[in-house]
Structure 1
Amino acid sequence: MQSRKYGRTYHYPFSPGTTSDDRINHHWWRDISNITQLVHTEKLDGENNCLNKYGAFARSHGAVTQSAWTQQIRQRWQLIKDDLGDIEIFGENLYAIHSIEYRRLEDYFFVFAVRHHDMWLSWEEVRFYAALFDFPLIPEVNIATKGVGEFEFSQLIIAHAQRDSHFESWDSQQRCSMEGIVTRNLDAYPVADFSHNVFKYVRKNHVKTDIHWKRNWQRAPLVYERNTAGGQNELDV
């Protein structure tokens, strides 16, 4: 097997952006209570890509990806493939615009997890490998949830998810809040225990674009291109 796909992240029960095929962790508070320290990050509206010694993979991991919108990350992979060893770097690829458009992007691939064999590495190690391979880290969301009760915890997640994206998010030509928040165990944990260590909140009315965005996809301009070209209209893909 060349790669195993990233596990499905279970929603908090108070996450309003669930659909019929989403999974919900109804025992989330028990799991949270067993974790010493958490880190909260912004959920970005892109494509989950994995880089390992065998290639660059999209969500399915059935075969290496060949899509046009992963050409840039596949070129980056060519430069680092011989140094990856047995680690797998997972990141959100924002090269193509999905439902949310980000207007202050300075890069395209944001690392959110690193796997080594049957372990998801600690957040400190994720930071290390992102820096080692010169990738930006997924934006952290500073939420003081340590020591709070179940209800206050949920209210803090909901309140912070209503804020703007780190990269200025737009949906249907209107400013919008970030897509959501992902919470994970700061420490390392086994792959088999993924569902007890990672949780997500997705805002209401977020449009999933897993299929139709690919039909007429557009490259997301970086912020310097917007500043020099006066917007996206003159930018090609």
Structure 2
Amino acid sequence: MTISRKYGRTYHYPFSPGTTSDDRISHHYWEDIRTVKAIVHTEKLDGENNCLSRYGVFARSHAAPTTSAWTKAIRERWALLKNDLGDLEIFGENLYAVHSIEYRRLEHHYYVFGVRILDTWLSWEEVKFYAAMFDFPIVPELCIVTPSKEEIYRQKVLELVSRPSLLDSRDIHTQAPCTCEGVVSRNAAEYAVADFPHHVWKYVRKGHVKTDEHWTRHWRRAPFAWEYRIGS
């Protein structure tokens, strides 16, 4: 029995090239999106999905709280706010450990992208409200669009993923600037947990993973922006 429900699997756009054999694709995404008033496009960050709830800090599995070395900092932060969470569950990207992209403009290691309360995913405005209340940054917001025509929408996503990361993304091998990992798009309004696949989508660029082995085997802490400035 799990303590809480893990984050739902985010379906890829059918034009997302960075899929693997176990990924799911939303072939009929436009049927859902055209009924939505506003879509928020955010940058997909290359970290670990960590959930903060009153029961602990959870990574991929929600059967038990995580105890990994790279979540030590966020677990210490959780200890200070756990009694204020109640039914709130905060989901964020933990960038404490470097994965396949290194970021040169990190001011924090934990960036919020979603807030769940019971059977509801809260609206984007509420996500920003609770992130600010607990003094967390949000993932980079790229733009908010009102869907009109599918081709226009698709071209906007492709334009967004061609940009470098707002956190200054670098290839971990060459240290050369690279495009962002991708884009996550969500309904700006709240929606039911059970309807998650019809309200959230992602685009991941091809060849994103650069490591020959899983990052957890020889992980290292991601430096903050000021550490790069001192070392330059």
Q: TM-score range by the shorter chain?
A: over 0.9
Alpha carbons 2:38, 2:147 under 8 Å: kept: no
Alpha carbons 2:34, 2:147 under 8 Å: kept: no
Report the secondary structure of 2:203's partner residue: strand
Confirm whether residue 34 of structure 1 aligns to residue 35 of structure 2: yes
TM-score normalised by L of structure 2:
0.95
Change (3 A) 1:210 1:11: farther
Report the secondary structure of 1:101's partner residue: strand
Q: Which residue of 1 aligns with 2:204?
A: 202
Report the secondary structure of 1:91's partner residue: strand
Q: Which residue of 2 aligns with 1:169?
A: 169
Query: Which runs of 5 or more structure 2 residues have no equivalent in the other structure?
Result: none
Q: Which residue of 2 aligns with 1:5?
A: 6
Q: Which residue of 2 aligns with 1:235?
A: none
Confirm whether residue 152 of structure 1 aligns to residue 184 of structure 2: no
Change (3 A) 1:226 1:141: same
- Describe the superposition over 1:56-84 as per-residue Cα deviations: whole angstroms up to 9, x where unpaired: 00011121000000000000000000000
Structure-1 separation of matches of 2:86 and 2:211: 33
Report the secondary structure of 1:213's partner residue: coil
Shift of 1:147: 4.5
Confirm whether residue 185 of structure 1 aligns to residue 187 of structure 2: yes
Query: Which runs of 5 or more structure 1 residues have no equivalent in the other structure?
Result: 231-237
Structure-2 separation of matches of 1:200 and 1:91: 16
Q: Which residue of 2 aligns with 1:90?
A: 91
Structure-2 separation of matches of 1:208 and 1:158: 21
- Superposition CA RMSD, Å: 1.4
Identity, % of aligned positions: 62
- Describe the superposition over 1:153-175 as per-residue Cα deviations: whole angstroms up to 9, x where unpaired: 11110111010001100112221
The size of the alignment, in residue pairs, is: 229
Structure-2 separation of matches of 1:8 and 1:128: 24
Counterparts in 2 of 1:6-85, with a 5 A limit?
Answer: 6-85=7-86
TM-score normalised by L of structure 1:
0.93
